[in-house]
């Protein structure tokens, strides 16, 4: 079972959540008296060991990804769009432009990926490095936010270590995604709320909300709890002034990354309007809801009533924004990583709760058992992802060699990677689709990302694709593995498959690469 499937399995997550929630219920019946010093030291060592395992497993995963690249082809689609933009293609093409990306991310993530690929080469795994740095920085910022909020050093470390475990559990698939950057912006927003109120705080929150929106259309949602926490609700004029300043600053932060991209916000909105989400995925919604409960219940269970009152606005912000995140994470069957940027807020609540405890008690230890379960699960995910990536490395290298050999034998050939089976999380052609960014670096245009059909499946867009690429022989080669490209299925209409097979035939086949062309058919070698 692939890690991508495992992390999205509501059945598996449901089992974890059920055990955890039962643990919480049992912990509520335990004594709150402090443990004797010897047992308290054992509890501290146990938690420290779990933290060390979490950190070590993440570092191992980072090292593997920086060497071999992320396993999930979705990551390579993001890198390929940034690479194609470096090569002169539009960042947000419409179906009429002949390019089918189907990804809704804002310009900021593409600028980061483009910068790294411009420095280190198109298709480089080092493009994942800024996200790794952002994740580590988010942990440091959250720790400092807890300390600035008056939390003791031990409680702040406890909450930060817990945060690392939850990040590992919900985001084991390290790569080129926006999630670690959104995590950092949410942590910075939280940090701003722990400082003195004033113009600086307001402008910072607006900027973070704008940059988050420039990463992803829904990005400002993750700054929402901090914005509500900082809003002076008792003074309506001051609240209106804060909202105005946040809106202006947020708009500037959202628009700034468009400068120099060759596109405009209006063009981006037209691109978004051309997308067609396929709808809500019920099992993922259930899984996201269970993960949200795992995230907030341990700190809420431990939080004293006085802290509930003091953090009422932050809690209200979480109550409003977290369910929306659960729904967004279930559109098109996305996943629980949409909840990652909410983790700093839960970490601060946990830090306040831990700070109010008189050391270790059976009650606190029972709550911590739930956290340890999540940390162990996260470490397992990360190590499994690293192992899967290492196991796939020889195949990925063989696929790249096969493509290189074909391009060497056919100088000047125009090639594109075709989708074959997008229903499975990691289908047999995964290693081929992991080469899409590298292939752009070989001078090939990016026509279709692996998941492009998911959101560009309108009849008009499909017909435009057929008219442009599958109704005439333009000498282009389509690369595939094992099966015929454009197989009719859940995400590929039968009209596309029929048009392709009517014109194209397999010109070459080996275990690592199939080449399809529309030229005169001959016997396969």
Tell me whether residue 510 is in a domain: yes
Write down the mean pLDDT value for the chain.
85
Looking at the fold, whether 461 and 494 belong to one and the same domain comes out as yes
**For residue 450, what is the DSSP state?**
T
Long-range contacts formed by 51-54: CB under 8 A, 24+ apart: 51/161, 51/164, 51/165, 51/375, 53/375, 53/376, 53/379, 54/161, 54/164, 54/165, 54/168, 54/375, 54/378, 54/379
What DSSP character marks residue 342?
G
> In whole angstroms, what separates CA 327 from the centre of its chain?
15
Please tell me whether residues 271 and 217 are part of one structural domain: yes
How large is the average pLDDT for residues 127-132? 95
Residues 356 and 216 in one domain: yes
User: Does the residue 358 lie in any domain?
Assistant: yes
Tell whether 128 and 211 lie within a shared domain: yes
Apex CA 295: angle with CA 289 and CA 300, to 5°?
110
Residues paired with 515 in a beta bridge? 479, 508
> Both 119 and 92 in a single domain?
no
Q: Is 87 in the same domain as 199?
A: no
Of 386, 418, 452, at which residue does a domain stop? 386
Q: Is the domain of 343 the same as that of 431?
A: no
Domain boundary among 386, 402, 435: 386
Helix ranges (H only) for 425-470 are: 430-433, 436-441, 452-455, 459-465
Same domain, 98 and 110: no
CA distances 67 to 389, 394, 514, Å, are: 10, 13, 26
Q: How far apart are CA 462 and CA 397, in angstroms?
A: 33
Which residues, in sequence order, are CB contacts of 152 under 8 Å at separation 6+? 355
- Quick check: is 402 in a domain? no
Biggest CA–CA distance in the chain, Å, is 83
Work out the pLDDT band at 1, boundaries 50, 70, 90.
very low
403 in a structural domain: no
The answer to whether residues 306 and 417 belong to one domain is: no
pLDDT level of residue 17 (50, 70, 90 thresholds): low
Q: What is the pLDDT of residue 3?
A: 38
- pLDDT above 50 for 4: no
Query: Could you tell me if 156 and 220 lie in one domain?
Result: yes
The domain total for the chain is 2
Domain boundary among 371, 386, 401: 386
Any domain includes 171: yes
* Residues 6+ away with beta carbon under 8 Å from 179: 131, 171, 337, 338, 340, 341
Please report which residue ranges of 72-152 form alpha helices under DSSP H: 73-86, 107-120, 129-148
Both 295 and 426 in one domain: the answer is: no
Domain that holds residue 453: 72-103+410-524
269 and 307 together in one domain: yes
Query: Among 215, 135, 145, 240, which Cα is nearest to 180's?
Result: 135
Structure tokens at 152: 């003791």
pLDDT digits over 27-60, tens only? 555 666 777 888 888 888 999 999 999 999 999 9
């Amino acid at each position: 079972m692939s890690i991508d499937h495992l992390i999205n399995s509501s059945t598996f997550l449901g089992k974890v959540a059920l055990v955890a929630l039962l643990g919480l219920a049992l912990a509520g019946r335990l004594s709150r008296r402090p443990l004797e010093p010897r047992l308290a030291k054992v509890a501290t060592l146990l938690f420290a060991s779990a933290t060390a395992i979490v950190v070590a497993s993440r570092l191992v995963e980072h090292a593997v990804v920086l060497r071999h690249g992320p396993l999930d082809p979705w990551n390579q689609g993001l890198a390929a769009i940034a690479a194609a933009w470096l090569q002169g293609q539009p960042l947000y093409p419409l179906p009429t432009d002949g390019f089918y990306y189907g990804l809704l991310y804002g310009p900021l993530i593409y600028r980061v990926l483009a910068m790294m690929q411009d420095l280190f080469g198109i298709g480089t795994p080092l493009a994942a490095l800024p996200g790794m740095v952002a994740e580590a920085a988010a942990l440091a910022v959250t720790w400092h936010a807890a300390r600035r909020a008056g939390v003791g050093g031990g409680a702040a470390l406890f909450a930060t270590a817990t945060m690392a475990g939850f990040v590992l559990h919900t985001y084991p698939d390290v790569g080129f995604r926006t999630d670690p950057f959104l995590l950092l912006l949410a942590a910075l927003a939280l940090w701003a709320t722990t400082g003195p109120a004033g113009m600086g705080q307001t402008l910072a929150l607006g900027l973070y909300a704008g940059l988050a929106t420039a990463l992803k259309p829904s990005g400002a949602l993750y700054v929402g709890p901090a914005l509500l926490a900082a809003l002076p609700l008792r003074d309506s004029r001051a609240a209106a002034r804060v909202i105005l300043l946040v809106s202006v600053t947020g708009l500037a932060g959202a628009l700034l990354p468009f400068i120099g991209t060759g596109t405009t916000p209006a063009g981006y909105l037209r691109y978004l309007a051309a997308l067609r989400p396929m709808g809500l995925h019920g099992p993922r919604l259930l899984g996201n809801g269970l993960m949200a409960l795992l995230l907030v219940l341990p700190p809420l269970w431990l939080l004293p009533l006085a802290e509930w009152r003091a953090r009422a606005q932050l809690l209200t912000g979480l109550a409003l924004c977290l369910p929306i995140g659960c729904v967004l994470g279930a559109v098109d069957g996305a996943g629980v990583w949409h909840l990652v940027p909410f983790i700093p807020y839960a970490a601060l609540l946990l830090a306040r709760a831990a700070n109010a405890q008189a050391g270790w008690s059976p009650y606190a230890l029972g709550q911590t058992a739930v956290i340890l379960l999540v940390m162990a699960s996260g470490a397992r995910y990360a190590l499994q992802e690293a192992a899967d990536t290492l196991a796939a490395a020889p195949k990925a290298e063989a696929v790249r060699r096969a493509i290189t050999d074909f391009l060497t034998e056919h100088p000047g050939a125009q090639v594109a990677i075709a989708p074959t089976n997008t229903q499975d999380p990691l289908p047999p052609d995964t290693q081929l689709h992991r080469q899409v960014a590298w292939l752009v670096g070989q001078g090939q245009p990016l026509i279709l990302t692996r998941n492009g059909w998911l959101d560009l499946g309108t009849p008009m867009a499909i017909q435009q694709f057929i008219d442009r690429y599958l109704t005439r022989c333009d000498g282009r080669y389509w690369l595939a593995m094992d099966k015929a490209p454009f197989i009719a299925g859940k995400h590929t209409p039968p009209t596309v498959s029929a048009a392709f097979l009517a014109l194209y035939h397999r010109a070459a086949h080996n275990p690592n690469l199939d080449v399809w062309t529309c030229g005169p058919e001959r016997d396969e070698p």
